[in-house]
Amino acid sequence: RLKPFNRLQVILQHLKMSKHTDSTAEVLLEKRGAAGIITLNRPKALNALNLPMIQQIYPQIKAWEQDPETFLIIIKGTGGKAFCAGGDIRAITDAGKVGGRLAQDFFREEYILNNAIGTCKKPYVALIDGITMGGGVGLSIHGRFRVATEKTLFAMPETAIGLFPDVGGGYFLPRLSGKIGCYLALTGFRLKGRDVLKAGIATHFVESEKLPALEKDLIALKSPSTENIADLLNSYHVESKIDQEKEFVLDEHMEKINSLFSANSMEEIVKKLKQDGSPFAIKQLETINKMSPTSLKMTLRQLREGASMSLQDVLTMEYRLSQACMRGHDFYEGVRAVLIDKDQSPRWKPATLEEVSDEFVDDCFKPLGNNDLKL
């Protein structure tokens, strides 16, 4: 046994090592001025979100929410390339294949965190500079403020890997104007820079190089209200001139997107695209043909149902869908084709939309009894 003094030394050493501002930690949590700051710190992995990170961020948000000295929460990524490129899909795949707990725990705890952000009583400011996809969208979209920059690259590319646009996609996507959300969800289309603002995903646009100054000004605010924070963000937003004159990338296609993607079934969307026959429609057909037919049907229904649900009900529904994907074939095959072998030619089962029965899709949405997500 260690002598008491040695024990104390070991404990102190441990505390020093586990302090969250340690630059090797995967997530840094610090309190500065009026703000609690969350920094995603896996730059080599494009700040992809894993379970240990979720397990650190969630209790910290809850603590700051209760703390009378914390007036806002800021979340950002390191490395200059990404805010957060998604969830740690490789780890989930490995666990799912062997029936490991991570395939349940990751989605459960991630969605609980998404809900904590969506219900956070303190103003939450996400600086979505760089790649923001999948799990990174879940860490930002449900908060009060989302600041995009010219480097922001937003997408929900899940249908390409046999998944669906989760992390509350069923809530925010159908609430974007027209059928933009449905279009983004089914095709995985990438929005860049100011277009992220124009699509209604970001609330503000600020030049990337101005973010350190913005952060400093946010931290320096004295007991700010949500209005004070909004005013400061607006003042930066108004001064940002990059791409101000450019029209929204989807503007010229909005009429087509709204009519073609308003069909009630995937088969009908495909039929409409074929009938339309324009270069735009043909391009969408090519994209959709690469996606998992099961994912496409699941996603269309997820968005249609989510349009009239609360965020909590959407996340509960999405947890059921996540577990259906873990039980199925396409998720593992999609990850193999896109992330592991990188041959980009997934062999989906079933291979066509027609073969994905309504009964099968219904089954994915069924409650999981005691295993349901509880929010």
Q: pLDDT tens, 271-297?
A: 999 999 999 999 999 999 999 999 999
Quick one: pLDDT at residue 24? 84
- Residues 88, 110, 158, 215: which is the catalytic one? 158
CATH 3.40.50.300 matches 25-371: no
CA 336, CA 179: separation in Å to the nearest integer?
A: 31
Residue whose tokens read 């869908």: 321
Quick one: pLDDT at residue 165? 98
Is 286 known to be catalytic? Answer: no
CA 320, CA 325: separation in Å to the nearest integer?
A: 9
- Under a CB-based contact definition with an 8 Å cutoff, are residues 236 and 208 in contact? no
Q: pLDDT tens, 10-33?
A: 555 555 544 455 678 999 999 999
Q: Which pLDDT band, with edges at 50, 70 and 90, does 9 fall under?
A: low
- Residues 36, 135, 136, 334: which is the catalytic one? 135
Q: Is the pLDDT of residue 2 over 60?
A: no
- Residues 87, 96, 169, 334: which is the catalytic one? 87
Is 100 known to be catalytic? Answer: no
Q: Which pLDDT band, with edges at 50, 70 and 90, does 93 fall under?
A: very high
DSSP SS3 for 168: coil
Is 138 known to be catalytic? Answer: no
- Under a CB-based contact definition with an 8 Å cutoff, are residues 289 and 349 in contact? no
Rounded mean pLDDT of the chain? 94
- Residues 166, 195, 215, 318: which is the catalytic one? 166
Is 87 known to be catalytic? Answer: yes
Q: Where are the alpha helices (DSSP H) in 87-138?
A: 89-97, 102-118, 135-138
- Under a CB-based contact definition with an 8 Å cutoff, are residues 156 and 133 in contact? yes
Q: Which pLDDT band, with edges at 50, 70 and 90, does 7 fall under?
A: low
